[in-house]
Structure 1
Amino acid sequence: MFAVYAESFSTESPLDGLVVGERPDPDVPDGWTTVTVKASALNHHDLWSLKGVGLKQDQLPMILGCDAAGIDEDGNEVVVHAVISQPGWTGDETLDPGRSLLSERYQGTFADRVAVPRANLVPKPASLSFEEAACLPTAWLTAYRMLFVQGGCKPGDTVLVQGAGGGVATALISLARAAGLRVLATSRDEAKRTKALELGAHEVFETGQRLPTTVDAVMETVGQATWLHSIRSLRPGGTLVTSGTTSGPKLEDAGLTRIFFLQLKVVGSTMGTRQELASLITMLDATGVRPVLDRTLPMDQAPEALAAMASGDVFGKIVLTR
């Protein structure tokens, strides 16, 4: 079958290890099924995989891609939940110490077909296109959990979204606005700040700019470049939710004095559960909120798509279609 996969690793030039070609049809263990992929969205996870982060040499070749929407073996339109928990695990899948993602321990979604546990399939409503639905399992699910599960945000709260432009950040702005939050957003790029306003942010600021007010919660996916600004932007007792470090994880000043003196909460967040994915899909179906698509390309143009993501010249999600 057609597939886009990692054949080798390179920290300096990750796309050198990318291959567009053919791979064997997926193995289907007991309790699993296959989905014919109609659309799959890119994530930074795919670039990290090409750098060898989260993968070992003996796992190659590995088909990339965490996200997919497609058609199951019974002809149903479905969205694939990308978190694979251990057999027998019950409860929150993100807390399973042995969990994995598609394209880590198991072959990914940049292919004609992908094998997944039957329990990982969520019905896709007719109101969502395959391209829109493919954006949900990683970036949008991450945003949903950050805001409403780990952040505990509620209507009337003020939330700051750092680094407007990426897939998670655009999802955060859209979901927060739809849920009745006051949304502030930052970006180094003036064009992205303008787009953030169009998307639903109430106010936008340059990265690091002092805000006119403190906020109830900060959604932090950038890391090193924005961390201290995030801490300084919180009201006493406020919450910082972190799910990524795109600018790097090492901090010269973590703001610890401010954290304990103002009794701030710092909460980690990773992906989300199958039930949260189902709730997110229901929210989008009911509200009409839709993912922002930066561009849609045929899957055989994956190298071009990954190069665009690596350059940072993206607002929203890049989607590959079959």
Structure 2
Amino acid sequence: MLAAYAARFSSDDPVSALEVGDQPAPGPRESWSVVDVRAAALNHHDVWTLRGVGIRAEQLPMILGTDAAGVTADGREVVVHGVVGGASGHGVGPDEPRSLLSERYPGTLAEQVVVPTWNLVDKPAELSFVEAACLPTAWLTAYRMLFRSGGATPGQRVLVQGAGGGLATAAVLLGAAAGLEVIVTSRSQERRERALGLGAAAAVEPGARVPRVDVVLESVGKATWSHSVRSVRPGGTIVVAGATSGDAEPAELTRIFFQEITVVGTTMGTRDDLAHLLAFLARTGVRPLVDSTFALTDARAAVQRLADGDQFGKIVLEP
């Protein structure tokens, strides 16, 4: 079958480590299902894999991708939850550590993917395959950050560090639909304007003074951490789901304990969270912002766009 995979590692030029070609089609496995992939979305996780982060050389070649929507052999239209093992243990047993597709098992950037049957969630008819494929990583993470880890409720103020990526646009659209006052930061005036068009209440340059917020969604790390700590109200919450600019130095623990700020880490979300997110979108009419779609054969161009940071919304491949 055709697939986009990491053939080697390159920290300086990750796209050069990606190849598109034939890979073995998935075979039958007890308690697992084969999904014919109709759409698969890219994430920064794919770029990190090409750089050699979170994967060993002996695992190569590794098919990339954590997100997909498609059809099972019996015609069921599904969305793939990309977390395997951990607390669920379904299809792999209770002792297997948690991993994402493309870490221990082949990923979704292929004509087919095999996953534990438990990981499949019915795709609402209201969502297209392209829209549904955008959800299992960035949108699921944003949903969990806002409503589960952050505990945000209508009327509260939320700061989203960064604008343009899948997680940030998801947070703006979900937050606005839920009655939150969402403030975003971005170096780009164009991205700030687009965030306002999506429903953000305000869009400012990184580090700009903002009214104290109830919740901060932090995925940038070193470049924005101090601003996040200064911007959250006493007793507020900072939810961390990444550190794309590196670990923060210093951690500013004095301010955190003195103002009783809660710092919560989160990675994606549960299968139930994904089902709730799908229902939220089906009922509200909110839809993922799709930056662009590419054929699977053009996966290199798609990943290059992601690596360059030119996208606003999700990049999707269609096998």
What TM-score bracket applies, with the shorter chain setting the length? over 0.9
- Cα distance in structure 1, aligned partners of 2:186 and 2:209: 13
Aligned partner of 1:31 in structure 2 is 31
Letter aligned with residue 281 of structure 2 = L
Aligned partner of 2:225 in structure 1 is 227
Aligned partner of 2:284 in structure 1 is 287
| Residue 274 of structure 2 is aligned to residue 296 of structure 1 | no
Within 5 Å, give how 1:207-286 maps onto structure 2. 207-211=206-210, 213-249=211-247, 251-286=248-283
SS in 2 for 1:294: strand
Letter aligned with residue 161 of structure 2 = Q
- Cα distance in structure 1, aligned partners of 2:134 and 2:89: 26
- Cα distance in structure 2, aligned partners of 1:87 and 1:293: 32
SS in 2 for 1:180: coil
TM-score, normalising length: structure 1: 0.96
Aligned partner of 1:40 in structure 2 is 40
How has the CA–CA distance of structure 1 residues 86 and 182 changed in structure 2, closer, same or farther, with 3 Å as cutoff? closer
Q: CA deviation at 1:88?
A: 6.7
* Higher deviation after alignment, 20-29 or 163-172: 20-29
- Cα distance in structure 1, aligned partners of 2:249 and 2:225: 10
How has the CA–CA distance of structure 1 residues 19 and 185 changed in structure 2, closer, same or farther, with 3 Å as cutoff? same
SS in 2 for 1:301: helix
Task: Give unpaired runs (5+ residues) of structure 1.
Answer: none
Q: CA deviation at 1:187?
A: 0.5
- Cα distance in structure 2, aligned partners of 1:86 and 1:231: 31
How many residues are treated as equivalent by the alignment?
317
How has the CA–CA distance of structure 1 residues 97 and 147 changed in structure 2, closer, same or farther, with 3 Å as cutoff? farther
SS in 2 for 1:240: strand
RMSD of equivalent CA atoms: 1.6
- Cα distance in structure 1, aligned partners of 2:255 and 2:163: 25
Q: CA deviation at 1:97?
A: 7.3
Task: Give unpaired runs (5+ residues) of structure 2.
Answer: none
Aligned partner of 2:20 in structure 1 is 20
Per-residue CA shift, 1:76-122, capped at 9, x if unaligned?
Answer: 111000000159738xx9x9870111111000111110000110000
SS in 2 for 1:126: coil
Within 5 Å, give how 1:1-322 maps onto structure 2. 1-85=1-85, 89=89, 98-211=97-210, 213-249=211-247, 251-322=248-319
Is contact 2:7–2:18 with CA below 8 Å preserved after alignment?
yes
How has the CA–CA distance of structure 1 residues 163 and 33 changed in structure 2, closer, same or farther, with 3 Å as cutoff? same
